[in-house]
Structures are given as C-alpha cells and as structure tokens.
C-alpha cells in the first residue's frame, strides 16, 4: 500500500509542477487577511513545527501576504487541531502528524470529527524513527532488550512526547509484537523526554531519527533499530527493527497540512500549489535533507488517501495492543 501511495504522490506532484501557470490563473480573491498556520505542539519542540516554519516564509513570499505560525499545544494535539476545525475565516490551516490519525481511535470524545470537520491540503514530508535506549542499559540489540524486558516485566519505562504520538504508538506496538510489558511515560514535547532519556530517568524511547542521531553517534544513547522497513538513508548502519525478528514492524513520522472542512475548494487548491512550490525550493529541500526529512508533496486527494490508510492502521493497533491514554 505504501508503494502505491508513493507512486500516486509522485504522479500528482508531476502534474502540479507541470502546470506552474495554474497559480497565476487562479481567480480566487484570496487572501484578504493574514494566513494562519496552527501547530499543535510547542514552538521549536517538534519536527512538524520545524517543517511548517521552513515552508511558510516561502508561502508568504509567493502570496505577497503575511503568514504566521501559532503554536497551540496540549491534549495530545487535540487542542490545536480543534482550533483548526472550528475556524471559519478561510485563512486558517493546521499542521498535523501521526497523532492526528491515532487520536481517531485513541481519544474517546474528540471535540471534532476527523473526517467530516477537516479536509486534507498536502502531505509535506516524513522521516524515520529510531528506538534508542539509555547508554547504561545492559542491552545492545533489540533481541537483548526483549529478553531483558521479559526478565523484568513492568520495570522498563519508555517515553513519548504525548499520548497518541508516534513514540507512544511505536512503544505499544513493540509491547504487543514482542510480548513484553513496559511503562509509558508521556511528556509534553520530545525535548523534555529526550533530556530524561539522556539523564537516565527513563529507559528507552522511540523518536525522530534526525533529533537523536548526534546523541547516538556520541555514545550518549544506544540505537537498537530504525522503523522503516528498509534502512534509513540518514543512518544506514543502524539495522531496522523489521530485520531483527519483527518483520511487520513499521512506523514513520509524517507531516501534513489540513484545513477546516468548510474552506473553499479554490483556497485549498491554491494553498496546495503554493506549498508544493515551496517544497521544490533547493534551500528548503537541502535543509530538510540535512535533517533526514524526506520531501513528499502531492495533491489533497493523495493526502486524503494517506489519512484514511493511517486511521485504519492505527485503529487495528489500538485494538490489538489495548493502547490507552496514560
């Protein structure tokens, strides 16, 4: 499924880029006020925030209009996404990541309907995750970690940067697939969780590979596996979890843009074209590549298909792993 989605992304992107005159021909009298991008994480505390803040200045230049980023963290991204869903000004967009689709199954009473209250704009990028453990934990491979966890049920702790985030999901998936018991410790952002892992206050954590790689290279953390099915380009020397006995284990962190469902189709099309154009800027692509972030791009329809697939995938994991909010 992932290969077919990627092919569709590339095809739709080619169509968009071959029609660069479309934006100039768009007759929408928009924007008529500053454009707002809501990010449901603290400022500077997530890769999503980084990607949005790289892209939006280029969008502002193309629009010749102010564009600003507003951080609305809290409740596992629910607060920020809800603010997007309830916006009625035709000038509000939202940055979302995996938690957007996890929450559909994980949160019992969402204040918005993921499918009906929000609409996809573009899937911008993705990156691999890595399973890292504190330097003094007496394990060096995934199989050693699993064996250690089975000898010490309930004694290992794993961190995440919030309920419903990729690290939470990945930790629960590891528990279910390996048959081990670990304690989830949720944080409000990746930074504090990573600091506690470095300080030895928690035992392990899944996190965005680009943010962990320097600590792994320095020996402050030990990497036990990455989460693509194939080795991550940023760290090809680190084996995947899939090749170490869990062949279906796969996660990534993806970053997209949504809008309120009542946003006009013309505005959605225009923003999609603007962001696709921004993602092709060499300086933006080089910046993202240096962080191990893969540019995707494409149409709203392709992102919509990705969202549907992710909701179904996470619903199955939430059910089989008995995943819950801590």
CB within 8 Å of 232: residues ≥ 6 apart: 128, 130, 209, 226, 238, 240, 292
What is the strand order of the sheet 221-226 is part of? 182-186, 156-160, 204-208, 129-134, 221-226
- pTM to 2 decimals? 0.81
CB 52 within 8 A of CB 72: no
Domain spans in the chain, listed from the N-terminal domain onward: 2-127+253-321, 129-244
**HSE-up (13 A, CA, CB side) for residue 315:** 9
Q: What is the pLDDT of residue 110?
A: 93
Domains 2-127+253-321 and 129-244 share a fold: yes
**Which tokens hold the place of 160?**
């995440």
Q: Quick check: helix, strand or coil at residue 22?
A: helix
Task: Classify residue 61 as left (phi > 0), alpha (psi -120 to 50) or beta.
Answer: alpha
Q: Which two tokens stand for residue 32?
A: 């008529």
- The DSSP output letter for 67 is E
CA 77 to chain centre: 11
pLDDT in tens, 244-296: 999 999 988 899 999 999 999 999 999 999 999 999 999 999 999 988 899 99
pLDDT in tens, the chain (326 residues): 454 445 445 444 544 444 444 444 445 589 999 999 999 988 887 889 999 999 999 999 999 999 999 999 988 889 999 999 999 999 999 999 988 998 888 888 899 999 999 999 999 999 999 999 999 999 999 999 999 999 999 999 999 987 777 888 899 899 999 999 999 999 877 889 999 999 999 999 999 898 899 999 999 999 999 999 999 988 999 999 999 999 999 988 899 999 999 999 999 999 999 999 999 999 999 999 988 899 999 999 999 999 999 999 888 877 776 666 65
In sequence order, the 6+-apart residues with CB closer than 8 A to the CB of 25 are: none
Count CB-CB contacts under 10 A for residue 5: 17
Q: What is the pLDDT of residues 60-79, one digit of tens each?
A: 999 999 999 999 998 888 99
State whether residue 199 is helix, strand or coil. coil
* CATH of the domain spanning 2-127+253-321: 3.40.190.150
**CATH class of the domain comprising 129-244:** alpha beta
Cα distance from N-terminal residue to C-terminal residue, the chain: 31
Residue with tokens 């029609």: 19
The H helix count followed by the E strand count for the chain is 12, 11
124: tokens are 């911008």
């Amino acid at each position: 499924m992932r290969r077919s989605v990627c092919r569709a992304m590339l095809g739709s992107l080619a169509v968009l880029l071959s029609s660069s005159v479309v934006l100039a021909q768009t007759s929408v009298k928009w924007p008529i006020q500053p454009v707002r991008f809501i990010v449901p994480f603290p400022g500077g505390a997530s890769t999503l925030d980084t990607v949005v803040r790289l892209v939006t200045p280029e969008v502002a230049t193309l629009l010749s209009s102010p564009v600003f980023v507003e951080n609305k963290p809290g409740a596992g991204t629910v607060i920020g996404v809800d603010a997007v869903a309830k916006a009625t000004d035709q000038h509000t967009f939202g940055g979302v990541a995996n938690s957007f689709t996890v929450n559909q199954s994980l949160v019992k009473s969402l204040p918005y309907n993921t499918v009906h209250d929000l609409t996809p704009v573009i899937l911008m990028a993705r990156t691999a995750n890595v399973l890292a453990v504190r330097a003094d934990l007496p394990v060096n491979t995934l199989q050693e970690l699993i064996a250690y966890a089975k000898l010490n049920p309930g004694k290992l702790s794993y961190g995440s940067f919030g309920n419903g985030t990729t690290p939470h999901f990945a930790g629960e998936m590891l528990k279910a697939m390996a048959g081990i018991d670990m304690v989830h410790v949720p944080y409000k952002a990746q930074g504090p969780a990573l600091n506690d892992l470095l300080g030895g206050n928690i035992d392990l954590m899944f996190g965005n590979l680009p943010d962990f790689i320097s600590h792994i290279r320095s020996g402050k953390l030990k990497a036990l596996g990455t989460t693509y099915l194939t080795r991550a380009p940023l760290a090809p020397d680190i084996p995947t979890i899939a090749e170490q006995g869990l062949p279906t284990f796969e996660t990534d962190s993806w970053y997209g843009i949504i809008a309120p469902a009542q946003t006009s189709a013309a505005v959605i099309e225009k923003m999609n074209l603007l962001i696709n154009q921004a993602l092709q800027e060499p300086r933006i692509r080089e910046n993202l590549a240096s962080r191990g972030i893969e540019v995707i791009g494409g149409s709203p329809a392709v992102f919509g298909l990705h969202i549907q697939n992710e909701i179904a995938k996470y619903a199955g994991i939430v059910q089989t792993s008995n995943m819950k909010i801590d």
